[in-house]
Amino acid sequence: MPFIAFARPDIGQAEINAVARVMRSGWVTTGPETRAFEQDFAAHLGGGVQAIAVNSATAGLHLALEAIGIKPGDQVIAPTLTFTATVEVARYLNADAALVDVDASTLCIDPACIEAAITPRTKAIVPMHYGGLACDMTAVFDIARRHGLYVVEDAAHALPATCQGTLIGQLPSAAAVFSFYANKTMTTGEGGMVVTRDTALAARMRTMRLHGINRDAFDRFQSRTPAWYYEVVAPGFKYNMTDIAAALGRVQLQRLPEFVQRRQQLAARYRAELQDLPLILPADAPPGETHAWHLYVIRLADQARVTRDELIQTLSDAGIGTSVHYVPLHRQPYWRDRYNLEPKQFPVAERAYQRMISIPLFTAMSDDEQGRVIAALRAALR
């Protein structure tokens, strides 16, 4: 039987045509497609946000922390159950990460743990919408307001997700950062988008995205000032998105409603057909809210008679790819050693980690493929 990969991008002829058109156009780096993608993305979210296209979400998170003024010695609070990119960007700025535990039901950052981690060095909270389910942002904003902290959302999983009826990207945080990495809910190969409502932050991020130059190359070739003239106002980065990636992203964004619907369908079938097994299934979004379903993370319940590693092996033998999201950062040598972290400081994330498996959920997955995943899980756990 053919192997079912953990994830596979959903790229059709329209995406291929869009990329081919840009490649024939004579302009392949940041230009009209990137600008149009930013406009499409901002319009898609609505609410008057500005969108800044970058070459990865990691770059976007770095730009956001730089723009809010994170300095050496500052501290940002983030969940331990995330990808290292969420907090490595603080280290780029010689700031520190304060890693905290997550909520047992949602696996998103636990607001009570945020509160307990605040020190005079704390400058920002970086919540991550785990798996595509929005964090308790009401609690996060309340803490941020009371302590004068910025909120920068790692929204890599959260396109599209809602919190209290508002799309992630439209909430009143300093910035939210989406990822278009190959396995995310839409892709540009590599890429990301920062959104903000703050004009000054947006301007700073646009400048720092391209070498600290105050206008990008396309502007120079369009405007009436001499094309050769530009000004460097800061030691910026090389984080701009190419028009090739943006063309791919524009088509994927148009297909997003179709993608969301398929992901919801796959998640609903998993819930219906796995609920009698000794598993903790991922939390649904509250009624009326949207879950982006980037990941489908199951956890073995106490009654299960197999271990996480045994189940991964059984699924692999059945030709099914899985993953684990994530090895918590407190177990990663760099973070563990830098902050002397121990598993007992993060009981919820630790317990979840020991029992979790991410099973395939991607729009290009067929009903038959999902049926095989369900059958293999039922056979292994019955």
CA dihedral 79, 82, 84, 88 (to 10 degrees): -30
Cβ closest to ligand PLP, residue 78 vs residue 277: 78
Q: Which of 71, 123, 184, 344 is catalytic?
A: 184
Considering only the stretches 50-58, 140-148, 210-218, 335-343, report the one whose residues sit in contact with ligand PLP under the rule CB under 6 A.
50-58
Q: Where are the beta strands (DSSP E) in 160-294?
A: 162-163, 166-167, 175-179, 192-196, 279-280
Cβ atoms within 10 Å, residue 228: 6
Q: What is the 3-state secondary structure (H, E, C) of 277-345?
A: CCEECCCCCCCCCCCCCCCEEEEECCCCCCCHHHHHHHHHHCCECCECCCCCHHHCHHHHHHHCCCHHH
Instruction: Sketch the per residue contact string, 58 through 97, with ligand PLP: x for CB under 6 A, - otherwise.
Output: x-----------------------xx-xx-----------
Residues 6+ apart with CB under 8 A from 88: 58
Query: What's the token pair of residue 351?
Result: 């317990």
8 A C-beta contact, residue 237 and residue 209:
yes
Considering only the stretches 149-157, 217-225, 245-253, 262-270, report the one whose residues sit in contact with ligand PLP under the rule CB under 6 A.
149-157
Residue 379 CB, shortest distance to ligand PLP, in Å, is 30
8 A C-beta contact, residue 135 and residue 157:
no
Residue 275 CB, shortest distance to ligand PLP, in Å, is 26
Cβ closest to ligand PLP, residue 154 vs residue 350: 154
**In the range 190-229, which residues lie near ligand PLP by CB under 6 A?**
192
Cβ closest to ligand PLP, residue 156 vs residue 277: 156
**In the range 2-41, which residues lie near ligand PLP by CB under 6 A?**
none
Query: What's the token pair of residue 135?
Result: 């964090």
Residue with tokens 């979004």: 285
Residue 294 CB, shortest distance to ligand PLP, in Å, is 8
Is 238 one of the catalytic residues?
no
Site size with ligand PLP, rule: CB under 6 A: 14
Q: Where are the beta strands (DSSP E) in the chain?
A: 50-54, 75-79, 96-100, 122-125, 150-154, 162-163, 166-167, 175-179, 192-196, 279-280, 296-300, 356-359
Residue 177 CB, shortest distance to ligand PLP, in Å, is 8
Residue 203 CB, shortest distance to ligand PLP, in Å, is 23
**The one-letter amino acid at 338:** R
Residue from 30, 56, 185, 322 touching ligand PLP (CB under 6 A): that is 56
Q: Number of C-alpha atoms within 13 angstroms, CB side, residue 211?
A: 7
Residue 226 CB, shortest distance to ligand PLP, in Å, is 36
Determine if 131 is a binding residue for ligand PLP (CB under 6 A): no
Residue 192's DSSP bridge partners are: 54, 179
Cβ closest to ligand PLP, residue 67 vs residue 155: 155
**The one-letter amino acid at 372:** R
Cβ closest to ligand PLP, residue 153 vs residue 372: 153
Cβ closest to ligand PLP, residue 83 vs residue 293: 83
**In the range 156-195, which residues lie near ligand PLP by CB under 6 A?**
156-157, 179, 181, 192
**In the range 270-329, which residues lie near ligand PLP by CB under 6 A?**
none
Residue from 22, 49, 53, 57 touching ligand PLP (CB under 6 A): that is 57
Nearest CA-CA partner of 115 in 142, 133, 153, 87: 142
Cβ closest to ligand PLP, residue 153 vs residue 380: 153
Residues 6+ apart with CB under 8 A from 277: 377, 378, 381, 382
Query: What's the token pair of residue 262?
Result: 């398929």
Residue 293 CB, shortest distance to ligand PLP, in Å, is 14
Determine if 128 is a binding residue for ligand PLP (CB under 6 A): yes
Q: What are the residue numbers of the active site?
A: 184
| Binding residues vs ligand PLP (CB under 6 A) | 56-58, 82-83, 85-86, 128, 154, 156-157, 179, 181, 192
